[in-house]
Amino acid sequence: MNDKRARELVAAERTRIEAALRQLVGDVQSEGSLQTQQTGEASEVGSDLEFEGVEIALIDNLRHELAAVARAEERIAAGTFGRSIVSGAPIPDERLEVAPLAERTVAEQTVFGQGAK
């Protein structure tokens, strides 16, 4: 994959992730006060905590994805984008088109994922 296409794909991922992160952070900050403004009452604490926990987990996941974007940008700058961080083997362009932040080949990612369980 050429550097121009790699930059385009990674930049699109950055834009998508940053927009989702802004939206979620804004939702978390405004939800409690919005409920009180609309009804004059606080909403049920248990459901609020559960919903907030899900949003916080989503925010954490997006921050991890943003870190992956930064690593991809570093690999582009270093000329190693499109190569596995494990073996240095080429990652097929077809995979990078679908998953531009991929750091491993499919086989390596499968092994990595199995070890994470």
Tell me the whole-structure pTM to 2 decimals.
Answer: 0.74
Q: pLDDT tens digits for 55-65? A: 788 889 999 99
CA of 116: how far to CAs of 64, 85, 109, 111, 113, in Å? 15, 17, 10, 9, 5
List the chain residues with pLDDT less than 70. Answer: 27-52, 116-117
Domains of the chain: 3-115 (1.20.120.910)
pLDDT at 113: 86
Closest CA relative to residue 79, chosen from 12, 7, 9, 3: 3
Half-sphere exposure of 64 (CA within 13 A, CB side): 6
Q: pLDDT tens digits for 63-74? A: 999 999 999 999
pLDDT at 29: 56
